[in-house]
Amino acid sequence: MSNRIGVIDYGGGNLQNVLNVLSHIGHPGSLVSSPEDLENVDKLIFPGVGSFGDCIEEIDRKNLRGALIDWLEADKPFFGICLGYQVLFESSEESPDAKGLGFFKGQVVKFPGDMGLKVPHMGWNKVEPLDSDLYIWKGSPDPLFLYFVHSFFPRPENREIISSQAEYGDAFASSIASGNIFAGQFHPERSQDAGLRLVQNFLEREI
């Protein structure tokens, strides 16, 4: 089974954390900083910390937009984390002028400030898989708690791609799945054993 793991280098601060996690579970990864780098990997992780606009600007600066869309359209294995989940959609209220990858229809919206919620949503939250038989959830504890740090979340137009929900005020799409593409708003690299299990399931799945 080929398992060359690429980690998108979008200029953010948590790249080393993700690389450390990959090494810890026996699947060392390499940074992807150009379209050419994608030719040398079989599975792709797009982590993200920071703003939607800055992330998209860096992706465009490195000419990665077209290559990423090609990867997604080919249904190659992809795991998006936090911003790496949000950029799959068309736009974000955080950066109205920035154009997302638009692979999925929908907008990234901010938690409402009139519900008495602390924003950003930060800490452990219960995640409810909608299809517990999906490969990514294999071996997950029940109930499943994962770690979140975010003020914005995607609102997919196609409800059928929603893979899990979490509640913060109202229920929101904490992850999506479509073919070999999976992405979630939580941080598996900060979610201890439960998060490591998700990453392992992604990496060890045979395509």
Interval 109-166: pLDDT, tens: 999 877 788 999 999 999 999 999 999 999 999 999 999 999 999 999 999 999 999 9
Q: Determine if the peptide bond prior to 28 is cis (ω within 30°).
A: no
Q: How many CA atoms lie within 13 A of 40 on its CB side?
A: 12
Examine the residue annotation and report whether 93 is marked as an active-site residue of this protein.
Answer: no
H-helix or E-strand spanning residue 83: helix 83-86
Provide the pLDDT for residue 113.
Answer: 74
Dihedral angle over CA of 25, 18, 42, 57, nearest 10: 180
Provide the pLDDT for residue 13.
Answer: 66
CB burial of residue 138 (10 Å; 0-12, 13-18, 19+): middle
H-helix or E-strand spanning residue 29: strand 29-32
Provide the pLDDT for residue 2.
Answer: 58
Provide the pLDDT for residue 14.
Answer: 78
User: pTM (2 decimals)?
Assistant: 0.96
Instruction: Name which residue leads in pLDDT, 22 or 1.
Output: 22
Examine the residue annotation and report whether 189 is marked as an active-site residue of this protein.
Answer: yes
Instruction: Encode pLDDT of 41-82 as tens digits.
Output: 999 999 988 899 999 999 999 999 999 999 999 999 999 999
Beta bridge partners of 106: 156
Provide the pLDDT for residue 207.
Answer: 78
Provide the pLDDT for residue 48.
Answer: 84
Catalytic residue among 55, 82, 121, 150: 82
Which DSSP string corresponds to 139-186?
T--SSEEEEEEESEEEEES-GGGEEEEEEESEEEEEEEEETTEEEESS
Angstrom distance (rounded) from CA 151 to CA 153: 7
Examine the residue annotation and report whether 206 is marked as an active-site residue of this protein.
Answer: no
Residue 22 CB neighbour total at 10 angstroms? 19
Whether the predicted pLDDT of 1 surpasses 70: no
% of the chain with per-residue pLDDT over 90 = 88
Protein fold of 5-204: Rossmann fold (3.40.50)
Dihedral angle over CA of 120, 10, 161, 110, nearest 10: 20
Whether the predicted pLDDT of 8 surpasses 90: yes
The owner of tokens 């490969």 is 135
Instruction: Encode pLDDT of 84-120 as tens digits.
Output: 999 999 999 999 999 999 999 999 999 987 778 899 9
CB burial of residue 13 (10 Å; 0-12, 13-18, 19+): exposed
Angstrom distance (rounded) from CA 152 to CA 94: 7
